[in-house]
Amino acid sequence: MRNRLTTLALATALALPAAAHAYSNIYFFGDSLTDIGAFGGLGGLPSTARWTLGYGPGWSQDFGGRFGIAVTPNNPNNSTITAKNGNNYAQGDARAQPANPVNTNPESPTGSPVPGAINVSDLVDLTVNGAVTNPGQISTYLAQSGGKADPNALYSIWIGGNDVINSLTVGQTAMATALAGGATQAQAQTAASNAIQSYLTTSATNTVQAVGR
């Protein structure tokens, strides 16, 4: 039901005429479905590389355009990205629950890092023995915004698919659970919801969330 309501909310938002600059900005967090070039220029990829056919615009750019807001990638670990004030933090392969060991992109067909590859930032920090070893997308945004979310901005969080896919490699039990939409998807949704509650809702007032789709 939650996913149906989220889909309905998105469809309604896209159907309504959008007033230019109705929000101060729009910030996007998620995985390859929202990534518009976080790894462009790495591992021999073109600087315009993204997870779309022909490196065309992603849905986040179309959505932002309806509000008169330009959407650009933000990945401080990628020195080839010159727009350090980008508002799209999504990264391909990202998960709601941090991966340990961390994923890397770009990678070879066997899953090995290629020259120039960097760690994938998941939604939240990866913490090992009390220390953050791989900062998450939300904490990266907050570090750049002075530790507080803009209350006049709109926030989009679409993540969880990679959490379910990863469970398929664990074993038949995990596969059955994932395909049934059981614990694994629920855990991903809980992780994302906790991140939103912990990091954004202290000041952010407008969020659109889709988890495990």
Q: What pLDDT digit, counting tens, does each position of 149-200 carry?
A: 999 999 999 998 888 777 655 544 544 555 555 556 667 667 666 666 665 6
Pairing label, strands 131-134, 104-107: unpaired
Claim: this prediction has a pTM higher than 0.75? yes
List the end-to-end C-alpha distance of the chain, in Å, as a whole number.
13
Contact 119, 76 (CB under 8 A): no
Q: Does residue 33 contact residue 161 with C-beta atoms inside 8 Å?
A: yes
Dist CA 185 CA 208 (whole Å): 18
Token pair 């790495």 is at which residue? 42
Contact 124, 191 (CB under 8 A): yes
Residue among 105, 207, 82 at smallest CA distance from 156: 207
pLDDT computed for residue 42 by the predictor: 93
| pLDDT at res. 12 | 47
- Return the pLDDT at 5: 45
For residue 174, what are its two tokens? 């995990």
Better-scored residue on pLDDT, 83 or 5: 83
* pLDDT one-digit tens code per residue, 23-66: 999 999 999 999 999 999 999 899 889 888 888 999 999 999 99
Phi then psi for 73, rounded to 5 degrees? Answer: -70, 150
Structure tokens at 57: 């615009």
pLDDT value for 8? 46
Query: Could you tell me if 66 and 21 are in contact, meaning their C-beta atoms sit under 8 angstroms apart?
Result: no
Q: Which of 70, 77, 73 is nearest to 29 (CA)?
A: 73
User: Which of the two residues, 144 and 165, has the higher pLDDT score?
Assistant: 144
- 68-124, pLDDT tens digit by residue? 999 999 999 999 887 778 999 999 999 988 888 899 999 888 878 898 999 999 999
Task: Count CB neighbours of 143 within 10 A.
Answer: 11
Please report which helix (H) or strand (E) contains residue 120, including its range: none
pLDDT at 52: 86
